Amino acid sequence: MKEVLLAIFASVRAGLRSRAALQLEVLALRHQLAVYQRCPTRPRTKVADRLLWAWLSKTWAGWRNTLVFVQPSTVIAWQRRRFRDHWARLSRARPGRPRLAKAVQDLIRTMSTANPTWGSRRIVGELAKLGVPVAKATVEKYMVRPRQPPSPTWRAFLDNHVKDLVSVDFFVVPTVAFKVLFVFIVLAHARRRIVHFNVTENPTAQWTAHQISEAFPWEAAPRYLILDRDWVYGPPFQTRMERMGIEEVLTAPRSPWQNPYSERVIGSIRRECLDKVIVLDARHLRRLLADYFEHYHSWRCHRSLAKDCPARRPVQGPERGDVVEVAEAGGLYCHYERRAA
């Protein structure tokens, strides 16, 4: 009964409205019926449907009461999107300054990142010398500005000082007679080269100071020496370093990770050599380490050296012959090289 009364009221109300409003209502209802017939479960609108309802929302005041298959806010969003797309097309069609090439944009970003102290005028000058005329405003648009005052990265700092860095460290090796031998190594960071090593049963500060003198002639001493706070680096050792003009860099207590290069090479020595043999005495250990360091410098490739060796191993092409395996130290480790047949 309720539905019948609503239908009668709607027909009476329709008779009181203008013919144009009635025609628009019929158009809206017929269009929605067509949309539901096209997609009975979930109506999907097309571009023509959106244009129609965007036009109805601007022409007919009662469009909200008739709309069923979408929300009125959706129609308003369609109209706003049409407005934005219309003016975006007009803006793109308007002639103006040509767009800067992607390669030049990347070059400006690279220059500003690699040289934080450079301003836009400096970059404009550099680009002009490269045959790329660019305006100052364009450079300022694409350049990367640092969030904090310019400072070199730790990687750049280490690369700049690696030639002046040398580290020293001790590690212990047990023997077959249950004795403990102390191995002292001196490592140059530039090419990961073992500058000097020696073995002793009783390390002292005087003995360690003598090893530094043997490792470096007076005119070839490094600038910085990284070491821990062990007692073997006592006053005699410190006096010798002061006379040689070497500045010590102490690591924090119980912080072996602050001397990573020495710890890394000690790990390589253990894994590749000492963990596979039983050391008889100090003489035997010196011979084992001397053989391993010869292999380490001439044949062992390092990831930190771009897969090269500390002694710069040359590349052997196929014209040098066939690849052969050469065993070293009784088969503890080996290397590969090309030899003519």
Here the CATH number for the domain that contains residue 249 is 3.30.420.10
232-289, pLDDT tens digit by residue? 999 999 999 999 999 999 999 988 899 999 999 999 999 999 999 999 999 999 999 9
Question: What does each C-alpha distance from 207 to 87, 231, 237 come to in angstroms?
Answer: 83, 12, 8
Look-up of token digits 């023509």:
48
Whether residue 159 is predicted with pLDDT greater than 80 in this model: the reply is: no
Q: How far apart, in whole angstroms, are the C-alpha atoms of residue 332 and residue 324? A: 17
| Antiparallel, parallel or unpaired: β 247-250 and 224-227 | parallel
Domain check: are 229 and 165 in the same one? yes
Domain check: are 137 and 163 in the same one? no
**Structure tokens given for 64:** 């909200």
**Cβ count near 322 (within 10 Å):** 10
In a domain, 165, yes or no: yes
**Structure tokens given for 47:** 């571009």
- Report the pLDDT value the prediction gives residue 43, as an integer from 0 to 100: 66
- Report the pLDDT value the prediction gives residue 4, as an integer from 0 to 100: 45
Q: Specify which of 17-21, 135-139, 170-174, 309-313 reaches the highest per-range mean pLDDT.
A: 170-174
- Report the pLDDT value the prediction gives residue 15, as an integer from 0 to 100: 54
Whether residue 9 is predicted with pLDDT greater than 60 in this model: the reply is: no
Nearest alpha-carbon partner for 191 in 25, 312, 40, 81: 312
Domain check: are 165 and 33 in the same one? no
Domain check: are 217 and 300 in the same one? yes
In a domain, 70, yes or no: yes
Domain check: are 109 and 181 in the same one? no
Q: Specify which of 15-29, 71-85, 185-199 reaches the highest per-range mean pLDDT.
A: 185-199
Domain check: are 170 and 128 in the same one? no
Look-up of token digits 């140059």:
188
Burial of 185 (0-12, 13-18, 19+ CB in 10 A): buried
Distance between start and end Cα atoms, the chain: 108
Nearest alpha-carbon partner for 185 in 211, 203, 204, 213: 211
In a domain, 319, yes or no: no
Domain check: are 11 and 119 in the same one? no
Domain check: are 170 and 297 in the same one? yes
Query: Structural domain tally of the chain?
Result: 3
In a domain, 314, yes or no: no
- Report the pLDDT value the prediction gives residue 188, as an integer from 0 to 100: 93
Domain check: are 87 and 106 in the same one? no
CA angle 37, 43, 44 (to 5 degrees): 115
Query: Quick check: 206 and 240 in contact, CB under 8 A?
Result: no
**Cβ count near 189 (within 10 Å):** 21
pTM above 0.85, yes or no: no
Domain check: are 164 and 255 in the same one? yes
In a domain, 316, yes or no: no
In a domain, 69, yes or no: yes
- Report the pLDDT value the prediction gives residue 203, as an integer from 0 to 100: 95
Calculate mean pLDDT across residues 50-75. Answer: 67
Range of the domain at 131: 102-142
Domain check: are 113 and 175 in the same one? no
Domain check: are 201 and 260 in the same one? yes
- Average per-residue pLDDT for the chain: 82
**29 pLDDT tier (thresholds 50, 70, 90):** low
Query: Quick check: 309 and 300 in contact, CB under 8 A?
Result: yes
308 secondary structure, DSSP code:
B
In a domain, 341, yes or no: no
Nearest alpha-carbon partner for 228 in 270, 189, 257: 257
In a domain, 221, yes or no: yes
Question: What does each C-alpha distance from 95 to 83, 89, 92 come to in angstroms?
Answer: 21, 12, 8
Q: Could you tell me which residue, 24 or 288, shows the higher pLDDT?
A: 288
| Antiparallel, parallel or unpaired: β 165-174 and 180-188 | antiparallel
